[in-house]
Amino acid sequence: MDTSTGAKTHRAALAVLPPEALWPPIQAFRRRHDRQYRRWPPHINVLYPFLVPAAWTQAQGRIRAVCLRQAPFELTLAGPRWFEHRPRHYTLWLAPEPAEAVVALHRALREAVPQCDDLDRVPGGYTPHLSVGQAHGHRALARLLEELRRTWTPASFRVEAVHYLTRGPRGTPGDVFRVRARLPLGRGDG
């Protein structure tokens, strides 16, 4: 593969989005606790950062072919988990289960665009997650975890597609991620 046209950007992602019917409780928590609430819809990144639009145009045939070979699967947004990014700085997230289904999708798509391996290079490797907030300090983490455990009911849905998301320049009205393409999984009509 010619990777010279495979430039990446933090303004693009391939992601799984839960159906909008599941968004209200996720967004209610995110609105209060997630500094990225305005910029991102509820999502599970599969590849991020992702290809700039010109590279996407060249690679989308390969990516669509990979998606068509992947079977749709059931996923449950289970209970809360957290990452510690640096001492006492945490991201809270909902755990997609079975994680292995999302990991397999990630691996297959990464083979089509191997330069998009950033999520594999984080400590612990690729961990599928749906971020819902940030906490600073142990007490704040404990408080948010308790709130999320009390208010979140695990929700299941069928993953039938991945989505190509992009956003405009920082500080502009277009500085929010929007779905630019829906890539169905499997041979169905998705």
Which token pair is 74?
């059931």
> What is the domain count for the chain?
1
Sheet holding 130-136, edge to edge: 130-136, 89-97, 73-86, 155-159
CATH number of residue 70's parent domain: 3.90.1140.10
Tokens found for residue 10 = 């933090």
SS3 category, 50: strand
pLDDT attached to residue 5: 55
Q: What is the pLDDT of residue 4?
A: 42
Please answer whether residues 79 and 152 qualify as being in contact, where contact means their C-beta atoms are separated by less than 8 angstroms: yes
Q: Is residue 94 part of a domain?
A: yes
Per-10-residue mean pLDDT for the chain, 190 residues long?
67 98 98 96 98 94 96 97 93 98 98 96 95 97 97 97 94 90 79
Beta pairing partners, 135:
90
Which pLDDT does position 176 carry in this prediction? 95
Residue 190 domain flag: no
Asked whether residue 1 is assigned to any structural domain, the reply reads: no
What pLDDT does 156 receive? 98
| Residue 176, domain extent | 7-184
pTM of the shown model = 0.93
Residue 189 lies in a domain: no
Q: Which two tokens stand for residue 91?
A: 């991201």
